[in-house]
């Protein structure tokens, strides 16, 4: 492609809303343009990268035995009512756009579990036709509340989503592993170092699921990583070990002391009240009045220096809940007497570690000091209820874990029968003649988002530096001062023609611009190899040959360039 004809315009300045490098560089280099918040155009260079990424996905999924199809973007809302997910619309967990038309009300597919379940359901009746894994590469729509970071979080996105169908759970797990492995190969080919982490499933559902995370300073997520054993999990799903606690119940314990703490409702306020270097937030017990997933009023206890992590479906007390439990005073809630007040008590494992706590006294402006679990209050259930932090102990090996800032490149789910249980026709007859719902998996990667993820990992302060596998062109051919040096123009034109004829993807900067501008644009655009034809080197019969990523330079005889790029 001759750059003089290419629809590309490089910008000196990044747009004001571009906070991360990938966003800044993809816009500055003319790969993408913003049409509206979270809505982007792919200009020719950007679309070439998108197509390369899509092609890698196709090749690896096809090689793994998956079949490509194309499902509609317009989903009759009745299908979402059938699955029960229509009630999530408008919430952050499933921000779908819904449109009314002459044919009824349609959901603009944010994900395709419903549609694929009924589609495959209509085609497959017997175990003989299974396993089947289908995938599609298709535009998706999300009514995103806060689009951010360019292509990272958008309202319109290109996605590769796959769905597996099996006769039972064991077969599903095999199909899941096949796609999981293909995903790892896909990311490897794109030059991405991903870590699959155990995660929570959210609005998609199912049991086991993994997020494929790429460590990145532009990440909005963190995952917990154990350098010793390789354990990795999303912060929402991560577990930890807790050192065994001294059992304070065996000691000859005084009754808790009641302390007057006027206007000291927060953890930090209470610590300040004591004004004692020996008393820190970790000595206080945070008692959260919550309603659990089964609707039971519950006190959730975590150490005062930790962030509580509510399980899915749990919520904090609202005003009505507090009115129904008059013994609880906001800011001064504590576990003593909780069961008598009709509350379950659920505690984080860390609460066992410290035997003496400062807690709310269930009385306005008062706290208790020296409260011991099992002595002054009872715990009905223990579990992991805090966010894991740097230095916590790995649940597998006991080593110290760390938090890694990262972006999500893909997410895979073992759905089981969540959708096939409720959708029409989603059954197959097994080898034993029994008709049963499919066991399904679903798998998604944001194709357009991957451009941003790759750009985050492959750039420097001068611009992008694409891996060859996804670069829009392999070679950036620069002709320097060609307008005043016809021999340069002739040599560069000839080289360009030979490279194109040899099947090399080459972008030819034939513009009438200064060498400085051309070099700067070449660094910004980030094609893997720069070949520079200038008058001086040409006089010696050579060109410059420069690796964009490493900066390595060498000279090569002009007549050796085509051979070097076309030999296998």
- Residues near its own copies (CB under 8 A) are 5-9, 30, 33, 35-44, 46-47, 50, 65, 67-76, 95, 97-99, 101-104, 106, 108, 115, 119-120, 122-124, 132, 134, 138-139, 141, 143-145, 147, 155-156
Residue 458: which of 13, 139, 8, 29 has the closest Cα? Answer: 29
- Between CA 318 and CA 50 the distance in angstroms is 47
| Residue with Cβ nearer its own copies (50 or 371) | 50
Q: Least distance from C-beta 107 to its own copies, angstroms?
A: 10
User: Looking at beta carbons only, is 156 or 198 nearer to its own copies?
Assistant: 156
Q: How far is the CB of 70 from its own copies (least distance, A)?
A: 4
Query: How buried is residue 364: exposed, middle or buried, by Cβ count under 10 Å (0-12/13-18/19+)?
Result: middle
DSSP track, 154-179:
-SEEEEEEEEEEESSHHHHHHHHHHH
CB of 471 to its own copies, least distance (A): 17
What is the closest distance, in whole angstroms, from the C-beta atom of residue 128 to its own copies in the complex? 8
Q: Which is nearer to its own copies, 9 or 540 (CB)?
A: 9
What's the 3-state SS for 449-503?
Answer: HHHHHHHHHCEECCEECCCCCCCCCCEEEEECCCCCCHHHHHHHHHHHHHHHHCC
First and final C-alpha spacing in the chain: 22
Tokens of 396: 């597998």
Closer residue to its own copies (CB): 242 or 482: 482
Q: Which two tokens mark 390?
A: 């740097």
* C-alpha separations of 117 from 103, 179, 237 in Å: 22, 18, 27
182, with CB counted inside 10 A (0-12, 13-18, 19+), is: buried
Least distance (Å) between residue 512 CB and its own copies: 9
In terms of CB distance, is 95 or 494 closer to its own copies? 95
- Nearest to its own copies of 119, 216 (CB atom): 119
Region of residue 459 (left: phi > 0; alpha: psi -120 to 50; beta: else) = beta
Closest CA to 49 of 33, 26, 67: 26
* Minimum gap (Å) between residue 488 Cβ and its own copies: 20
Phi, then psi, of 334 in degrees rounded to 5: -145, 165
Q: How far is the CB of 39 from its own copies (least distance, A)?
A: 5
CA distance 430 to 128: 8
Q: How many CB atoms within 10 Å of residue 203?
A: 14
Nearer to its own copies, 14 or 208 (CB): 14
Between 385 and 508, CB nearer to its own copies: 508
What's the min distance (Å) between Cβ of 343 and its own copies?
A: 38
270-274 contacts at long range (C-beta below 8 A, 24 or more positions apart):
270/358, 270/367, 271/304, 274/358
Residue 69 vs 400, nearer CB to its own copies: 69
Beta-strand pair 195-198/156-166: unpaired
Closest approach of its own copies to the CB of residue 164, in Å = 12
- For residue 297, give both structure tokens: 């009023």
What's the closest the beta carbon of residue 3 comes to its own copies, in angstroms? 11
Radius of gyration (C-alpha) of the chain in whole angstroms: 30
Cβ atoms 375, 364 nearer than 8 A: no
Q: Are 237 and 199 spatial neighbours (Cβ–Cβ below 8 Å)?
A: yes
CB closer to its own copies out of 104 and 515: 104
Q: How far is the CB of 41 from its own copies (least distance, A)?
A: 5
User: At closest approach, how far in Å is the CB of 19 from its own copies?
Assistant: 18
Q: Is 22:453 a contact under the CB 8 Å cutoff? A: yes
């Amino acid at each position: 492609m001759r750059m003089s004809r290419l629809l590309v315009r490089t910008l000196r300045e990044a747009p004001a809303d571009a906070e991360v490098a990938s966003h800044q560089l993809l816009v500055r280099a003319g790969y993408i343009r913003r049409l509206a918040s979270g809505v982007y155009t792919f200009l020719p260079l950007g679309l070439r990268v998108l197509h390369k990424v899509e092609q890698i996905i196709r090749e690896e999924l096809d090689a793994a035995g998956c079949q490509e199809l194309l499902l509609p973007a317009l989903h009759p809302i009745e299908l979402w009512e059938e699955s029960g997910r229509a009630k999530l619309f408008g919430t952050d967990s499933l921000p779908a756009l819904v449109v009314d038309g002459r044919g009824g009300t349609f959901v603009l597919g944010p994900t395709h579990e419903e549609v694929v379940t009924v589609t495959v359901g209509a085609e497959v009746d017997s175990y003989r036709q299974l396993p089947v894994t289908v995938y599609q590469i298709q535009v998706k729509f999300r009514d995103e509340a806060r689009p951010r970071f360019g292509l990272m979080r958008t309202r319109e996105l290109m996605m590769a989503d796959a769905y597996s169908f099996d006769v039972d759970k064991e077969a599903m797990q095999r199909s899941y592993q096949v796609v999981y492995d293909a995903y790892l190969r896909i990311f490897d080919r794109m030059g991405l170092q991903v870590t699959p982490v155990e995660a929570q499933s959210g609005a998609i559902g199912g049991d086991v699921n993994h997020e494929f995370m790429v460590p990145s300073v532009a990440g909005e997520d963190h995952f917990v990583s154990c350098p010793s054993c390789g354990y990795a999990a999303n912060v929402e799903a991560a577990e930890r070990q807790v050192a065994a606690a001294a059992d304070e119940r065996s000691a000859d314990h005084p009754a808790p002391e009641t302390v007057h703490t006027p206007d000291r409702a927060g953890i930090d306020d209470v610590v300040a009240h004591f004004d004692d270097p020996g008393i820190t937030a970790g000595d206080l017990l945070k008692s959260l009045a919550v309603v659990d997933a089964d609707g039971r009023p519950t006190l959730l206890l975590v150490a005062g220096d930790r962030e509580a992590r509510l399980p899915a479906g749990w919520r904090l007390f609202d005003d009505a809940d507090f009115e129904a439990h008059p013994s609880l005073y906001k800011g001064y809630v504590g576990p003593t007497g909780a069961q008598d007040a009709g509350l379950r008590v659920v505690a984080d494992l860390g609460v066992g570690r410290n035997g003496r706590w400062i807690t709310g006294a269930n009385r306005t402006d008062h706290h208790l000091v020296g409260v011991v679990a099992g002595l002054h209050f009872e715990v009905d259930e223990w579990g992991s209820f805090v966010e894991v932090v740097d230095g916590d102990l790995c649940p597998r090996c006991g080593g110290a874990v760390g938090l890694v800032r990262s972006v999500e490149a893909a997410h895979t789910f073992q759905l089981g029968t969540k959708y096939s249980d409720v959708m029409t026709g989603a059954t197959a007859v097994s080898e034993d003649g029994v008709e049963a719902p499919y066991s399904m998996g679903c798998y998604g990667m944001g194709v357009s988002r991957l451009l941003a993820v790759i750009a985050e990992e492959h750039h420097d302060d001068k611009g992008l530096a694409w891996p060859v596998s996804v670069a829009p062109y392999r070679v950036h051919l620069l002709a320097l001062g060609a307008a005043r040096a016809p021999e340069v123009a002739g040599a560069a034109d000839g080289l360009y023609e030979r490279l194109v004829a040899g099947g090399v993807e080459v972008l030819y900067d034939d513009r009438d611009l200064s060498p400085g501008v051309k070099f700067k644009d070449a660094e910004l655009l980030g094609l893997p190899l720069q070949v520079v034809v200038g008058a001086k080197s040409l006089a010696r019969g050579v060109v410059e040959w420069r690796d964009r990523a490493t900066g390595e330079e060498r000279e090569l005889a002009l007549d050796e360039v085509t051979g070097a790029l076309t030999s296998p």
